[in-house]
């Protein structure tokens, strides 16, 4: 994974581009490159070397004619197969997936996007037509932000780079208000900044002569409806397992050391079991975090699983005393609100992996959305987007001033399927759960110069799983039924049918106890901030006292105020 940046138009100049690249240099500590097409474009790249570590694969990458320049963030996992298809049409000079991406674009144009299996955000500058083509992967694993300023088009991997080069740093009041009222992190094209947008997952854009056009290239709904959905249970299980093995195999392609993250859940247990079926991948490091609180830690389940595979396990303790420093550090990289203390604990894994010389980590993200793993899927009358809150709202809209609260409008999501379950899964995949988790995790992995890969978000897997009938997903009140049955022969039943645990850190308790003074410091900061008028601070204090008195079924509203105070 890397960082991409560029300016198209009259504002393109070396100074601005260098500032943009410097702001996101943590994304690519191995090389910084740039190309200037005087008066038309400035294209830059921060490189984290993963495949073909030679300088020949540095970016921006130029084709042999010198006409096209590519800046690319991500991985094309099936690059070897594509290279074989293209070798008679293109003279390759590197063994990189970067060159394969550019060759595919030259051969197939925009249709190349459908051939890629991977995560990507990239931009290609045509020096002849003076035209930019950019695209983002199907689910938006890799970020692509952009803004227009004084007739020029700016793009980057991180918002801070755009704020550095323009004055477009004013907050988006509607997105902020919806965050506090509904827990929304914005729609697929929005950010928490009024004039900064993101290219939605599965879209491409073109910019030429001051005109921006955008189109959707990935039709997920059509793909699901054409996916096999009338299979018998055993046939579906066998077919899905083969796809899983292929997805994991593809994501082990790298020229640097790899490891993976593990929790005590079904998803990462399945990842661990399958990884160890590859003979040359046994004994690679597994990483997990724990807090020392038995009510939240998944260490017993992790240890039970590890005992059956004997992988080296790196156990990283994250305590309340680690929160303050970690929060200050990670907040710099996030640019927008993030999930809470579990995100900070997860970041500790990347920090330690980086120290161990690991450049690529795999995790089990994506199965809950595919196979209906969240508790609110069982009670579809609860329109929750947060696991484990029951019927009580985790938000406190009364803590907003009346004027600011008027910006809020309950988000409405597309419902392209004919049943509630699939529509909720679709919402979580494209609007809520997956987009925000991918953003949080991209920033924490990049903060420590590591690449995160999610084999369970292979589009073939997601399409196949979505297409299956409800009783393959939920049975006898248990979610992820097929996954559990798939895992059962590989592990003990205690692991394959372990319940979903919504909380991984004692955030609720820490905020009211060990972190009480930290919370109160940030509440004071919020009251003194330039956006103090957004809030009813008397109401915040009232809710805070209730929280300290034991009304702490959810600590999310407290975290919202702390996170906002640090960002605003």
Residue 181 sits in a domain whose CATH number is: 3.60.20.10
Question: Nearest Cα to 440, choosing from 350, 546, 369, 518?
Answer: 350
Given 191, 218, 245, the domain boundary residue is 218
Question: Does residue 399 fall inside a structural domain?
Answer: no
198 and 253 co-located in one domain: no
pLDDT for 279: 59
81 and 168 co-located in one domain: yes
pLDDT for 395: 93
48 and 173 co-located in one domain: yes
Per-residue confidence at 300, pLDDT binned at 50, 70, 90?
A: confident
Residues 480-504: pLDDT tens digits?
A: 999 999 988 887 666 777 666 656 8
Question: Nearest Cα to 297, choosing from 120, 153, 154, 503?
Answer: 503
Residues 445, 447, 452, CA angle at the centre, nearest 5°? 15
Going 72 to 345 to 335 to 398, the CA torsion angle's sign is positive
Per-residue confidence at 385, pLDDT binned at 50, 70, 90?
A: low
d(CA 2, CA 72): 7
Collapsing DSSP states into helix, strand and coil, what is residue 308?
helix
Per-residue confidence at 230, pLDDT binned at 50, 70, 90?
A: confident
Per-residue confidence at 448, pLDDT binned at 50, 70, 90?
A: very high
Question: Does residue 58 fall inside a structural domain?
Answer: yes
Per-residue confidence at 383, pLDDT binned at 50, 70, 90?
A: low
Looking at the chain, the number of H-run helices and the number of E-run strands are: 23, 17
247 and 206 co-located in one domain: no
pLDDT for 320: 97
pLDDT for 39: 85
Question: Does residue 400 fall inside a structural domain?
Answer: no
Report, in this order, helix, strand and coil percent for the chain, each rounded to 5.
45, 15, 40
DSSP annotation of 365 reads T
The residue-averaged pLDDT of 232-247 equals: 96
Which two structure tokens, joined as six digits, stand for 427? 């919402």
The residue-averaged pLDDT of 448-462 equals: 97
Position with higher pLDDT, 426 vs 299: 426
Where is average pLDDT lowest: 99-103, 227-231, 491-495, 534-538? 491-495
The distance of Cα 544 from the centroid of its chain, to the nearest Å, equals 31
pLDDT for 272: 86
Q: Please name the residue that has the structure tokens 């509630």.
A: 420
535 and 558 co-located in one domain: yes
**Confidence check: pLDDT of 67 > 90:** yes
324 and 207 co-located in one domain: no
pLDDT for 501: 62
Which two structure tokens, joined as six digits, stand for 449? 């110069």
pLDDT for 422: 96
Q: Would you say 559 and 552 are in contact if contact means Cβ atoms under 8 Å apart?
A: no
Residues 196-225: pLDDT tens digits?
A: 999 999 999 999 999 999 999 999 999 999
379 and 528 co-located in one domain: no
d(CA 256, CA 31): 16
List C-alpha distances in Å: 324 to 335, 350, 556.
Answer: 17, 18, 17
CATH number at residue 461: 3.40.50.620
pLDDT for 391: 60
289 and 358 co-located in one domain: yes
d(CA 423, CA 409): 20
Given 218, 233, 264, the domain boundary residue is 218
How many other CB atoms sit within 10 Å of the CB of residue 529? Answer: 16
**Confidence check: pLDDT of 387 > 60:** no
The distance of Cα 445 from the centroid of its chain, to the nearest Å, equals 10
Question: Does residue 402 fall inside a structural domain?
Answer: no
**Confidence check: pLDDT of 271 > 80:** yes
Residues 439, 380, 226, CA angle at the centre, nearest 5°? 70
Mean pLDDT over all residues of the chain? 93
The residue-averaged pLDDT of 18-28 equals: 97
pLDDT for 268: 87
Per-residue confidence at 121, pLDDT binned at 50, 70, 90?
A: very high
386 and 415 co-located in one domain: yes
Question: Does residue 89 fall inside a structural domain?
Answer: yes
Question: Does residue 401 fall inside a structural domain?
Answer: no
pLDDT for 389: 55
H or E segment and range at residue 447:
helix 433-447
As a dihedral over the C-alpha atoms of residue 536, residue 542, residue 544, residue 548, rounded to 10 degrees, the angle is 180
pLDDT for 384: 65
Q: Integer distance in angstroms from the first to the last C-alpha of the chain?
A: 28
**Confidence check: pLDDT of 105 > 80:** yes
| Residue 312 exposed, middle or buried by CB count within 10 Å (0-12, 13-18, 19+) | exposed
The residue-averaged pLDDT of 360-369 equals: 93
Q: Would you say 325 and 353 are in contact if contact means Cβ atoms under 8 Å apart?
A: no
Question: Does residue 286 fall inside a structural domain?
Answer: yes
How many other CB atoms sit within 10 Å of the CB of residue 321? Answer: 10
338 and 289 co-located in one domain: yes
Question: Nearest Cα to 298, choosing from 310, 316, 279, 320?
Answer: 316
Domains identified in the chain, total number: 3
The distance of Cα 59 from the centroid of its chain, to the nearest Å, equals 23
**Confidence check: pLDDT of 71 > 80:** yes
pLDDT for 397: 96
**Confidence check: pLDDT of 371 > 90:** yes
Q: Helices (DSSP H) in 513-555: which residue ranges?
A: 516-528, 537-548
Range of the domain at 101: 3-218
Edge-to-edge strand order for the sheet containing 152-156? 31-37, 41-47, 3-8, 152-156, 145-149, 197-198
288 and 308 co-located in one domain: yes
Q: Please report, rounded to a whole number, the percentage of residues in the chain having pLDDT higher than 70.
A: 95
Question: Does residue 87 fall inside a structural domain?
Answer: yes
Per-residue confidence at 275, pLDDT binned at 50, 70, 90?
A: confident
The residue-averaged pLDDT of 123-127 equals: 98
302 and 246 co-located in one domain: yes
**Confidence check: pLDDT of 318 > 70:** yes
Q: Would you say 486 and 240 are in contact if contact means Cβ atoms under 8 Å apart?
A: yes
Given 183, 218, 253, the domain boundary residue is 218
Per-residue confidence at 306, pLDDT binned at 50, 70, 90?
A: confident
Mean pLDDT comparison of 132-146, 294-308, 363-377, highest-scoring range: 132-146
> For residue 47, what are the β-bridge partners?
29, 31
List C-alpha distances in Å: 4 to 130, 363, 367.
Answer: 19, 24, 29
């Amino acid at each position: 994974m890397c960082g991409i940046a560029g300016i198209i138009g009259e504002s393109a100049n070396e100074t601005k581009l260098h500032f943009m690249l410097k702001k996101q240099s943590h994304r690519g500590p191995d090389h910084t490159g740039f190309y200037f097409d005087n008066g038309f474009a400035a294209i830059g790249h921060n490189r984290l070397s993963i495949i073909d570590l030679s300088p020949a694969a540095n970016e921006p990458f130029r084709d042999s004619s010198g006409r096209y320049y590519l800046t690319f963030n991500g991985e094309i996992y099936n690059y070897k197969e594509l290279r074989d298809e293209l070798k008679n049409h293109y003279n390759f000079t590197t063994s990189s997936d970067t060159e394969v991406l550019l060759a595919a674009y030259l051969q197939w144009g925009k249709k190349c996007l459908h051939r890629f299996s991977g995560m990507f955000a990239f931009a290609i500058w045509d020096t002849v037509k003076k035209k930019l083509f950019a695209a983002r992967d199907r689910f938006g694993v890799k970020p692509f932000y952009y803004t227009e300023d004084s007739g020029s088009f700016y793009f980057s991997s991180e918002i801070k780079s755009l704020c550095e080069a323009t004055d477009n740093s004013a907050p988006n009041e509607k997105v902020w208000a919806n965050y506090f009222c509904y827990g929304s992190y914005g729609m697929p094209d929005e950010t928490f900044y009024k004039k900064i947008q993101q290219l939605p997952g599965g879209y491409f854009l073109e910019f030429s002569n001051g005109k921006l056009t955008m189109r959707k290239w990935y039709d997920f709904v059509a793909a699901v409806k054409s996916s096999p959905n009338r299979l018998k249970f055993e046939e579906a299980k066998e077919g899905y397992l083969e796809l899983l093995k292929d997805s994991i195999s593809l994501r082990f392609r790298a020229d640097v050391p790899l490891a993976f993250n593990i929790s005590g859940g079904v998803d990462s247990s399945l990842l661990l079991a399958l990884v160890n079926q590859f003979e040359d991948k046994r004994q690679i490091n597994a990483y997990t975090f724990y807090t020392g609180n038995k009510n939240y830690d998944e260490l017993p389940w992790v240890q039970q699983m590890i005992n059956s595979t004997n992988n080296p396990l790196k156990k990283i303790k994250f305590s309340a005393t680690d929160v303050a420093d970690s929060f200050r550090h990670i907040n710099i990289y996030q640019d927008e609100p993030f999930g809470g203390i579990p995100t900070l604990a997860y970041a500790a894994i990347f920090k330690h992996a980086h120290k161990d010389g690991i450049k690529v980590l795999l995790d089990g993200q994506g199965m809950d959305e595919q196979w209906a793993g969240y508790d609110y899927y069982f009670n579809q009358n609860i329109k929750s987007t947060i696991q484990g809150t029951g019927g009580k709202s985790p938000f406190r809209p009364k803590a907003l001033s009346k004027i600011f609260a008027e910006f809020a409008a309950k988000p409405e999501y597309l419902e392209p399927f004919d049943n509630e379950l699939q529509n909720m899964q679709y919402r979580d995949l494209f609007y809520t759960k997956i987009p925000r988790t991918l953003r949080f995790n991209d920033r924490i992995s990049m903060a420590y110069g590591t690449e995160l890969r999610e084999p369970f978000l292979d589009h073939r897997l997601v399409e196949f799983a979505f297409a299956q009938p409800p009783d393959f997903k939920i049975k006898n009140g248990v979610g992820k039924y097929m996954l559990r049955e798939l895992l059962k022969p590989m592990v003990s039943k205690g692991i394959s049918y372990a319940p979903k645990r919504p909380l991984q850190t004692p955030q609720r308790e820490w905020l009211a106890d060990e972190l009480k003074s930290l919370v109160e410091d940030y509440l004071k900061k919020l009251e003194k901030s330039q956006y103090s008028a957004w809030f009813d601070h008397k109401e915040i204090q009232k809710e805070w006292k209730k929280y300290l008195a034991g009304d702490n079924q959810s600590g999310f509203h407290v975290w919202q105020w702390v996170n906002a105070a640090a960002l605003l």
